């Protein structure tokens, strides 16, 4: 079916998006025009044109690119919370399990596409069809709730991304401003920067709010395409410069613990699964390929590359900075103009990406609201909801100003559900009518238990640290340069 101008605009904007960001589920306009993006990430949409299809290499590039966001910058601290041995090993296992769950989702979606003679099925609809096909009458009558549950977790994930972005923006800008007087051209100096204290990081968050409000009021995705391109370029350059720095001058690793305290491991789990949250990407990619028969192999290769990158950045970052590693590895960069520019580039990239990430939950929440009012009030209601949602993300960031806790909370609550808990349960309900082998049933139960334990433990640990002491939040946000 030929696409409308709005659908093409959506695809073009999504093509350039770095962070995984689920597409709108609630908009009939997009769903009816062939933009079957509901249930996955904006990298999901990826601007891929249905009529032409994409090659295997393009699919691989989109899959890897969709995972390169802010989550990878928090992995060195995550490895610290697990141990220099346990951290990389856990990332390897989580990468394998997350990749397997993606394969499960693809198989289940393909099965229902064949059964219902449909060309494409998103994450939410796949869950709904699986519940409808379940032998349990109770599950059948609540099939639509399954789709709503996926939409809920997608909205939580996206708003969680936005909260992470606000904390990231404040932390990095605060450090750049406080270290400005001591910034030099010598990037090899080991001297500690002399910081000039400024306002609290929460005030930096509030200072960004007017800019964020202006960005989210832009409803035309064609306008946002330029912001997305700028975000991609700035974040890619920043990540490359950061990676080459942490790979240099690694000290003796024997001083680092092989296994950290079990009390901090849930924080590792939340941050790690936050970074691996890309399961929504797979269905739109598989649908857009010229030859989808090769998709399983490409998915395996892509997840292998992603897991290797995560292990490399996480382990090298912890080895390089040890106990001084910060919630974002950019906060550990030397106090010279090159690396201050890296932070500023990341600030620009994240600021631009905020509007693109915000677009998705807005398109899930706003259409049902505007459909209940007259055309005269549709625009005021639309803008009011956008304003309320961006203020909500800022308020949550102010209340939880520690980047590591925000990452862990979002990862534990929503990412573990989408990536680990739902897919194995989906497989059980999909194939239960045919009879499940004991091995498959055991595997699915174990993965779901792993996700649920991570969900509970990660959320509890993050909330416990948050509520333990209000003052304890501040040191993690202070911007000391340890180079």
More confident residue, 363 or 123: 123
As a whole number, the mean pLDDT across the chain is 79
pLDDT at 40: 38
Cα-only R_g, the chain: 22
For the chain, percent of residues with pLDDT exceeding 90: 24
d(CA 466, CA 474): 11
Is the per-residue pLDDT at 246 higher than 90?
no
Residue-range domain boundaries for the chain: 5-477
pLDDT at 280: 65
Is the per-residue pLDDT at 340 higher than 90?
no
Q: Are the beta carbons of 45 and 79 closer than 8 angstroms?
A: no
Grade residue 221 by pLDDT with cuts at 50, 70 and 90.
low
Integer angstrom CA distances of residue 363 from 190, 337, 368, 377: 48, 40, 9, 17
pLDDT tens for each residue of 157-190: 888 888 888 988 898 888 888 877 766 666 665 4
User: 325: which 2 tokens?
Assistant: 């590693």
Whole-structure pTM value: 0.74
For the chain, percent of residues with pLDDT exceeding 70: 79
pLDDT at 469: 44
pLDDT at 206: 92
pLDDT tens for each residue of 98-139: 999 999 999 999 899 888 888 888 888 899 999 998 888 888
Q: Are the beta carbons of 70 and 328 closer than 8 angstroms?
A: yes
d(CA 402, CA 478): 10
5-477 CATH fold: Amino acid/polyamine transporter I (1.20.1740)
If DSSP states are collapsed to H, E and C, what string results for the chain? CCCCHHHHHHHHHHHCCCCCCCCCCCCHHHHCCCCCCCCCCHHHHCCCCCCCCECHHHHHHHHHHCCCCCHHHHHHHHHHHHCCCHHHHHHHHHHHHHHHHHHHHHHHHHHHHHHHCCCCCCHHHHHHHHHHCCCCHHHHCCHHHHHHHHHHHHHHHHHHHHHHHHHHHHHHHHHHHHCHHHCECCCCCCCCCCCCCCCCHHHHHHHHHHHHHHHHCCCCHHHHHHHHHHHHHHHHHHHHHHHHHHCCCCCCHHHCCCCCCCCCHHHHHHHHHHHCCCHHHHHHHHHHECCHHHHHHHHHHHHHHHHHHHHHHHHHHHHHHHHHCCCCHHHHCCCEHHHHHHHHHHHHHHHHHHHHHHHHHHHHHHHHHHCCCCHHHHHHHHHHHHHHHHHHHHHHHHHCCCHHHHHHHHHHHHHHHHHHHHHHHHHHHHHHHHCCCHHHHHHHHHHHHHHHHHHHHHHHHHHHHHHHCCCCHHHHHCCCCCC
Q: What number of other Cβ atoms are within 10 A of residue 27's Cβ?
A: 21
Is the per-residue pLDDT at 8 higher than 90?
no
Residues 6+ apart with CB under 8 A from 372: none
More confident residue, 355 or 368: 368
List the single range of 192-196, 208-212, 445-449 with lowest mean pLDDT.
Answer: 192-196
Is the per-residue pLDDT at 72 higher than 80?
yes
pLDDT at 401: 77
Q: Are the beta carbons of 225 and 13 closer than 8 angstroms?
A: yes
pLDDT tens for each residue of 18-60: 333 444 333 333 333 333 333 333 433 444 344 457 788 878 8
Grade residue 422 by pLDDT with cuts at 50, 70 and 90.
very high
Please give the average per-residue pLDDT across 262-274, as a whole number.
88
More confident residue, 318 or 69: 318
């Amino acid at each position: 079916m030929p696409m409308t101008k709005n659908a093409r605009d959506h695809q073009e904007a999504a093509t350039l998006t770095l962070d995984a960001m689920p597409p709108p589920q609630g908009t009939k306009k997009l769903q009816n025009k062939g933009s079957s993006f509901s249930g996955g990430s904006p990298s999901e949409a990826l601007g891929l044109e249905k009529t032409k299809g994409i090659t295997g290499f393009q699919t691989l590039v989109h899959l890897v690119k969709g995972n390169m966001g802010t989550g990878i910058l928090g992995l060195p601290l995550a490895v610290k919370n697990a141990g220099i041995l346990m951290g990389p090993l856990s990332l390897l296992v989580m990468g394998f399990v997350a990749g397997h769950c993606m394969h499960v989702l693809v198989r289940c979606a393909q099965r229902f596409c064949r059964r219902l003679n449909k060309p494409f099925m998103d994450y939410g609809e796949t869950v709904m069809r699986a519940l409808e096909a379940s032998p349990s009458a109770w599950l059948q009558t609540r099939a639509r709730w399954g789709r709503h549950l996926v939409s809920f977790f997608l909205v939580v994930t996206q708003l969680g991304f936005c909260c992470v972005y606000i904390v990231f923006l404040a932390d990095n800008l605060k450090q750049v401003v406080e270290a400005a007087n001591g910034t030099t051209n010598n990037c090899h100096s080991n001297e500690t920067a002399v910081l000039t204290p400024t306002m609290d990081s929460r005030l930096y968050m509030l200072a960004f709010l007017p800019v964020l409000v202006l960005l989210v009021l832009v409803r035309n995705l064609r306008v946002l395409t330029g912001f997305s391109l700028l975000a991609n370029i700035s974040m890619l350059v920043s990540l490359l410069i950061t990676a080459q720095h942490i790979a240099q001058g690694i000290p003796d690793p024997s001083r680092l613990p092989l296994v950290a305290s079990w009390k901090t491991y849930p924080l590792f789990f939340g941050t790690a699964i936050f970074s691996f949250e890309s399961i929504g990407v797979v269905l739109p990619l598989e649908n857009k390929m010229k030859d989808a028969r090769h998709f399983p192999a490409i998915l395996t290769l892509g997840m292998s590359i992603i897991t290797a990158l995560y292990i490399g950045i996480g382990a090298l970052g912890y080895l390089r900075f040890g106990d001084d590693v910060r919630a974002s590895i950019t906060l550990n960069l030397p106090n010279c103009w090159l690396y201050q520019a890296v932070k500023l580039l990341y600030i620009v990239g994240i600021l631009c990406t905020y509007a693109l990430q915000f677009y998705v939950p807005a398109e899930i929440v706003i259409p049902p609201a505007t459909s209940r009012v007259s055309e005269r009030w549709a625009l005021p209601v639309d803008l009011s909801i956008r304003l309320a949602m961006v203020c909500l993300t800022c308020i949550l960031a102010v209340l939880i100003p520690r980047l590591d806790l925000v990452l862990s909370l979002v990862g534990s609550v929503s990412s573990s559900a989408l990536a680990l808990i739902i897919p194995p349960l989906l497989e059980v309900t999909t194939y239960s009518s045919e009879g499940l082998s004991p091995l498959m049933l055991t595997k699915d139960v174990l993965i779901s238990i792993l996700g649920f334990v991570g969900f509970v433990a990660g959320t509890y640990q993050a909330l416990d640290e948050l509520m333990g002491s209000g003052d304890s939040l501040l040191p993690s946000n202070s911007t000391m340069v340890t180079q």
